[in-house]
Amino acid sequence: MLIRLILMNARLAPSLRSSAPWRRRGQNLTEYALITFLVALGTIGVVGLFGDNLRQLFGTNSESLAGASTAQNGGSAPSADVSKWSIKGSGGSGGNPGGSSNSGGSDTND
């Protein structure tokens, strides 16, 4: 009886071994398909939530790349804290909101 089981197992083993890689490949394909589906679903959700903001952002960038002198942001006006900042060399503040210059020299860039 034991010998019969061993012989039967020996006869079935090659067929089981040959089908195992196909099963693994099918499993991998299914996993990749599920991952792709979940990423696509997440992307659709994010675009659905932030679609208008993304459209404005890319529209502004394309206008400035096209050479528009002023690109409309579509956002709110800057806060009072932002208006305190200045570019170094214009007004002597050196870009610091306190107005103090970080160098003792002139404000010109050589």
Domain assignment of residue 101, yes or no: no
- Helical residues (DSSP H) of the chain, grouped into ranges: 2-65, 80-84
- Number of Cβ within a 10 Å radius of residue 63: 14
Q: Comparing 33-42, 66-75, 86-95, which segment has the lowest mean pLDDT?
A: 86-95
pLDDT at 74 over 80: no
Domain assignment of residue 41, yes or no: yes
Q: What is the mean pLDDT of the chain?
A: 69
Percent of the chain at pLDDT above 70? Answer: 40
**Spatial distance between the Cα atoms of 49 and 68, rounded to a whole number of angstroms:** 29
pLDDT at 99 over 70: no
pLDDT at 16 over 60: no
Domain assignment of residue 54, yes or no: no
What global pTM score does this model have?
Answer: 0.37
**How many domains is the chain built from?**
1
Position 84, amino acid: K
Domain assignment of residue 13, yes or no: no
Give the pLDDT of residue 38.
Answer: 98
Domain assignment of residue 33, yes or no: yes
- Residue 44 structural domain: 24-48
Give the pLDDT of residue 60.
Answer: 82
- Confidence class of residue 7 from pLDDT cuts 50, 70 and 90? low
Domain assignment of residue 39, yes or no: yes
